[in-house]
Structure 1
Amino acid sequence: MSDQLVVRPVVSRRDRRRFQRLPWAIYAAPGAQRDPHWAPPILASERELLGWPGLRGGRHPFYDDAEVITLLAERGGQVVGRLAVLINHVHNRKYNELLGFFGFFECVDNADVTRALFEAGAAWLRQRGMTAVRGPVNPSLNYTCGLLIHGFDRPPCFLMTYNPPYYAALLESCGFVKSQDLYAYEMDMKLLEALVERFKPAVLAALERTELVIRPMDPARHQHEIATYLDLYNRSLEGTWGFTPLQPREARHIAAELRRLIVPQFVIFAEVNGEPIGALLALLDYNQILRKLNGRLFPFGIVKLLMGRRRITAARAMAMTMVPGYQSSGLSLVLLDRMVWGGGGAEGAARWGIERYEFSWVLESNASSRGTLKRAGTKITSTYRIYDKAL
């Protein structure tokens, strides 16, 4: 069999399986020590995010207004690299750009393989009029994104990326340059308790003239509550670097995906005069269980995931959403307090035995949030990078 390097599109069900199984060859190769920090992706979810038909049929709603090609690199009959290249039309209309994106990148430590993959991807983008490419995004900034460049000594939290240290050098050898860094911050329970005790009275005093209500998610109204959260998410992130709003069908799809994973005590809303003005969503670090499931939730993995979540010791505060006018109010601290310790007859998340919270991710350009987290005494534990390249 020829050792010639070949890059070609994914066209068959077998190709799709080989595309998805490549990470096992990189992080858990037979005869080699498995990377203890790597958590296999949920294969069914990844298939949808790649634009392939999912378990429920049809494509992921992200692709209602996006295009994608998935590429395999092969040598000697073995898959040695993979890449997805995308055009997000929502982004390009919003920013008046001709920007392509890449994601789902995995590769052996070989610059030639990486170069061949990105040359094929760049050709596809140029044919469609794109003038630059950005990534990794899987498939956008609203999902997993960024290349890990610092923090290889610890496992990633749920829905955060992970990759070998050599990936940065591979991308940079192809001419990619830093566009923006994303940070993950960590806070243990003792620090959080001290922070709330110090600042909560001042925040509540400043808001005492308003009809402020802090409440947990109502599980009986799950669909409505998640829709409210996602609306706050879109409104609060408008104007943030690179942000594109979730489209209605996409938001509904995400709400359905989160139904089994969300614990109501970990979703807190703030309302003023009956109107939602902010929310906090934290997810348990399901990676602590997913590392043992080998990428498969069905038929028994989902049972293990749900039955084992009381043993999870960390949570990820994914998004602290505040609409304009309240983003510097300090309300985020009040939401954290209610989530962790409860109140108003509601059980707090502290009873789940969570030992630490990760706040991720936070944009390098988000000086306000970064300053708040720094003053709070949190520390950066991981750094992820978004790269750009002109075509």
Structure 2
Amino acid sequence: MSVIINKVRTKDDLKKFIQFGIDLYEGNEYFVPPLIYDERATLNWSKNPAFDHCDANYFLAYRDDKIVGRIGVIINHKANEKWNERNARFGFVDFIDDSEVVDALFGAAESWARSRGMDKIHGPLGFTDLDHEGMLVEGFDQIGTLSTIYNYPYYVNHMERMGYIKDQDWVEFLITIPKEMPERFLRASEIVKKRFGLDVKHLESKKDVLPYARDIFKLINRAYKDLYGYVELTDRQIDYYVDMYIPMLRLEFLTLVIRQEDNKLVGVGIGLPSIAKALQKARGRFVPTGWYHLYKALKGKDTNVLDLLMVAVDPEYQGKGLNALMFNEFIPAANRLGFEYAESNPELEINSKVHSMWNSLETKQHKRRRAFIKNL
């Protein structure tokens, strides 16, 4: 039978849309499922404040009454205004290895975008830079992370077959954590603190984080504003992400760099024990036992990998050595808790400032992911 494309219209449709993105990878040892609860909130127009300035539609592909693919298509009007573009985004995309299925899915997404006056479509991208983005093109034999996409190698072949080309690449690094704190970081951190009048804020409890929580996301807005596809988070989005992420933090791996003269937050580093294997065990579900696997993982059990989720530095201080302050905090804590490796978050291939942070450490570039683009 031919492929049938249906819009996601009901809560049950949305449930199937999310579940297909997990079921397709059944038995794959590298795929890390998202938390279904969070995915549902992200895709729900009544819960995700990104819908204040975004339109979206989701499509499911059926053959013989069986789901064989899914795709989301988003118009971020705020992004288009900022970058002076008329682009749609595709994301939340998964499909079996079948050209008819893939062509029908992307045909529906492209038609929807074209009918709304868009000139191009690119992705995988989400509503914000904090959503999953970038199709994996290298590193298919590496386990995924909380914040990244895993996909089969055949995805890339279909993208190229349909005429999509590279728009931007992100790279990821596996970093060996030094057994002892390198002397150069100790010296550099003291120099940076004295030269620029900076301090590292040490917090005793998660309640102590709350006065800085919104400032963290405002700093991210300033630090990332010129990066590919980034759109500054609104106040409502900041509140949404504060509620989502602050409870997960490990204070040992939260570094806040404060300017002494006015207590302004000018740098932040956030790490988290890898919860990839815990998410695999949970299969995306928090209950009945998923919470236990995640709790153990966040305590650093059953993992020797630290995920470096985010580093953000105020533009005024970029390239001035604030990374030494963060390493000076992270490395001793990682050794004390038994971590051997750290995994970077995706970094734009062209972002040499960020890549230079790892120059003094033993690293391996082990993954690459891509945003594809096509004229409509």
TM-score (norm 1): 0.90
* Aligned partner of 1:223 among 210, 227, 233: 210
Flag structure 2 segments of 5+ consecutive residues without an equivalent: none
- Deviation at 1:17? 2.4
Q: Is 1:306–2:299 an aligned residue pair?
A: no
Q: Deviations over 1:248-280 (max 9, x none)?
A: 111111111113311111110111223221110
Identity %: 26
Cα distance in 2 for residues equivalent to 1:187 and 1:202 = 20
The residue aligned with 2:340 is 355
Change beyond 3 A, Cα 1:51–1:209: same
Within the alignment, does 1:49 sit opposite 2:42 as a pair?
Answer: yes
In structure 1, the partner of 2:227 is: 240
Q: What's the CA shift for 1:203?
A: 4.4
8 Å Cα contact 1:223/1:256 also seen in 2: no
Letter in 2 for 1:239: D
Q: Specify whether residues 147 and 363 from structure 1 end up closer, same or farther in structure 2 by C-alpha distance, changes over 3 A only.
A: same
- Using the size of structure 2 for normalisation, the TM-score is 0.93
Q: Is the 8 A contact 1:146 1:182 kept in 2?
A: yes
- Are 2:278 and 2:290, in contact at CA under 8 Å, matched by a contact in 1? no
Contact 1:203 1:329 in 2 (8 A): no
Residues paired across the two proteins, number: 371
Q: Residue 59 of structure 1: CA displacement?
A: 2.1
| Aligned-partner residue type, residue 240 of structure 2 | H
Bigger drift between 165-174 and 299-308 goes to: 299-308
Q: Name the counterpart of 1:200.
A: 186
Question: In structure 2, what is the Cα distance between the partners aligned to 1:138 and 1:240?
Answer: 15
| Letter of the 1:12 counterpart | T
SS of aligned partner of 1:316: strand
SS of 1:319's partner is strand
CA contact (8 A) 1:181 1:363 kept: yes
**Does 1:71 pair with 2:59?**
yes
Query: Does the C-alpha gap of structure 1 residues 211 and 98 become closer, same or farther in structure 2, counting only changes over 3 Å?
Result: same
Q: Which residue matches 1:338? A: 329
In structure 2, give the amino acid aligned to 1:90: K
Residue 238 of structure 2 is matched in structure 1 by: 251
Secondary structure at 2:345 match in 1: strand
1:211 matches 2:197: yes
Quick one: structure 1 residues 336 and 300, their matched pair in 2 at CA, closer, same or farther if it must change by over 3 Å? same
- Give the alignment of 1:258-277 within 5 angstroms: 258-273=245-260, 274-277=263-266
Query: Offset at 1:374?
Result: 3.9
- Give 2:115's aligned amino acid: Q
Change (3 A) 1:323 1:45: same
Alignment of 1:102-113 (within 5 A): 102-113=90-101
What is the DSSP-based 3-state SS (H/G/I as helix, E as strand, rest coil) of the residue aligned with 1:269? strand
Shift of 1:212: 1.9
Alignment pair present for 1:9 and 2:7: yes
How far apart are residue 326 of structure 1 and its match?
Answer: 1.2
Contact 1:50-1:84 within 8 A present in 2 as well: no
Q: Indicate the SS of the match to 1:239.
A: coil
Structure 1 segments of 4+ aligned residues over 4 angstroms from their partners: none
Q: Secondary structure at the match of 1:138?
A: coil
Contact 1:217/1:268 (CA < 8 Å) preserved in 2?
A: no
User: Secondary structure of the equivalent of 1:142?
Assistant: coil
Q: Deviations over 1:80-126 (max 9, x none)?
A: 11000000111011112111001000000012211111111111111
2:321 paired with 1:323? no
CA drift at 1:331: 1.3
Are 1:282 and 2:271 matched, yes or no?
yes
